[in-house]
Amino acid sequence: MTNPCIEPGQRPLVLVDAYSTGAFLARALAEHRPLLHVSSRRDMPAAFAASCPQALFTQYYQLHEVGFEPLCQVLAAQHPEAVLTGSEFGVELADRLAAALGLPGNDPALSVARRDKALMAEQVAAAGLPVAAQLRTGSAEQACAWFQAQGARPVVVKPLDSAGSDQVFICRDASQVRDAANAILGGTNLMMRDNHEVLVQEYLEGDEYVINTVSHQGQHWLSDAWRCTKTLSGDGRKIYDSEYLLAPDDPCLETLVGYVEGVLDALAIAEGPAHTEVILTAAGPRLLETGARLSGLANPPALQAATGADQVSLTVEACLTPARLLQRPRRYRQLQAACTLNLIARGQGRFDLGRVTSHLDQLASYHSARWRFSDGRALAPTVDLNSSPGAVFMVHPQPDRIRQDQLAWRTWEQDWL
C-alpha cells in the first residue's frame, strides 16, 4: 500500500458515513490527515445528512454512483492509511473496504452479525456467553406463539438492525406482541432497511449499562461506562432519561468489562470504537446490543473534563499513534462526576432553543449540549432517542450538585417542553 511519492504523514484516511458523532471523528482526524468520505446509502435521512462536515473532505464518493470494485480502485490509487466507520450506517461497508484495501479492520465475515441483533446474540452465545432467549420471525402470529410458549412473560419486540431505540416495544400480553410485530413488519427502519423480520427477546430485568471502548489489534480500552435510567413515555414505552458516569473502581465494572470484552472478541471487533449496551440481571450480564462505532452520545469536551480522555481521541490514537494508546491504562480515570440528561418533550409546540439554553445556563453543573432539534422545530411527545430534542451534559466535582440540577431541570422541563 505504501507509495514512496506520498509522505507517510500525508496519506489520506477514509471515513465511511461520517454522520452524527462521526462528525467529531472527522474534525479530530482532519487536524492530522487529508480525509476522503464514502457514503453507503443513496439517500440519507435529512437530519443525518446535515450532520456530515462535508467541507473537511478532499473527495466525496457515493457507493451507488461508483460501485464497490471501481470505488476500491479509486481509493487504492490514493494510498489511504486507514478506513474508519463514521456511524452505524457505515459498519458493513467500512469492513469490506478495509479488507479489500489490505488495511487494518474488523473481519467482514462477521459484519452482518455486528448489525443484525439476532445474529449478534447467536454469535455471542456460540462463544459461550449467556444471552437473552430470542426468536426472529416474519410472522406476528409466530411471535405470539413464541411469547405464549415462553410462559407469557414480558418480551421486547424490535427491528433486527435498527438503532437509536427505533420501534422498540415492551410487550406484556399477546395482543401487544401482535401489534408491535405488525407495526414493524413491512416498514423501513431508521437505518433505511426494510423490516422483513422482527426480533422478539425475553425482557431482561436489571440495571442497564453502556460500555464504550476502543480496540487495537484485539486489545480493548475502556473509555467510559455509564449506568442508565429510563422513564415512561406518554404511550407507555420506556425512553432514556439519564446516564451516570461510573467510577472506574465501581465493583460492578469488573463483571461488566469481562463480559463486554468477551462480546467484542466474539464479534471480532479488533479495531476501532464500539458502543455496548448490557443489562446486569440477577444472573449476570446479558447483551442488549453492540455497535462497532462511536457512541451516539459522544461529547469529547465533556468527557475530557470528566475523565481526561474520550472515545474520539482514543480512536484517533489507535489509528495514527498506536504506540501512545498502548502506553495508556486500559480503563479511564475519573476527574469529576458526570451525567447525560436526555431532554423529554411531553407535548406539542415549538422548540425554543434560546429559552432552553437560558435555563440550562443557570445550572452550576451544565457543561454543554448536543441538539437533535433546531430552533423552532415542531415538538411532539418523545418516544425514542431521535424524538428527544437533545442531550445535556452535566459535569461537576460534586455529584449532589448534578442531582439537584437534574431535578431542577426536569421540573422546569415539564412546563416548557
Tell me: the pLDDT tens digits for 51-62?
Answer: 999 999 999 999
With residue 215 as reference, give the H or E element that holds it: strand 207-216
**According to the model, what pLDDT value does residue 325 have?**
96
Cα separation values, 98 from 94, 236, 283, 312, 410, Å: 6, 43, 38, 20, 45
Half-sphere exposure of 381 (CA within 13 A, CB side): 11
pTM of the model: 0.93
Question: DSSP 3-state assignment of 195?
Answer: coil
pLDDT tens-digit map of 241-285: 999 999 999 999 999 999 999 999 999 999 999 999 999 999 999
**Intra-chain end-to-end CA distance of the chain, in Å:** 53
Q: What string of H, E and C letters represents the secondary structure of 327-387? A: CCCCECCCCCEEEEEECCCCCCEECCHHHHHHHHCCCCCEEEEEECCCCCCEECCCCCHHH
Residue 175 Rama label (left phi>0; alpha psi -120 to 50; beta): alpha
**Confidence (pLDDT) at 199:** 94
Q: Is 131 helix (H, G, I), strand (E, B) or coil?
A: coil
What's the grid cell of residue 190?
Answer: 431508521
The pLDDT of residue 195 is: 86
- Distance from C-alpha of 373 to C-alpha of 291, rounded to nearest angstrom: 24
pLDDT per residue, tens digit, the chain (417 aa), is 444 445 656 899 999 999 999 999 999 999 999 999 999 998 888 878 889 999 999 999 999 999 999 999 999 999 999 999 999 999 999 999 999 999 999 999 999 999 999 999 999 999 999 999 999 999 999 999 999 999 999 999 999 887 766 788 899 999 999 999 999 988 887 777 888 999 999 999 999 999 999 999 999 999 999 999 988 777 767 788 999 999 999 999 999 999 999 999 999 999 999 999 999 999 999 999 999 999 988 999 999 999 999 999 999 999 999 999 999 999 999 999 999 999 999 888 999 999 999 999 999 999 999 999 999 999 999 988 888 999 999 999 999 999 999 999 999 998 887
Q: How far apart are CA 75 and CA 70, in angstroms?
A: 9
With a CB cutoff of 8 Å and minimum separation 6, the contacts of 194 are 186, 187, 188
Asked if 208 contacts 279 with a C-beta cutoff of 8 angstroms, the reply is yes
Phi/psi at 154 (5° precision): -55, 145
Q: Evaluate whether 13 touches 34 at the Cβ level (below 8 Å).
A: yes
Domains for the chain: give ranges and CATH numbers: 8-105 (3.40.50.20), 133-202 (3.30.1490.20), 207-416 (3.30.470.20)
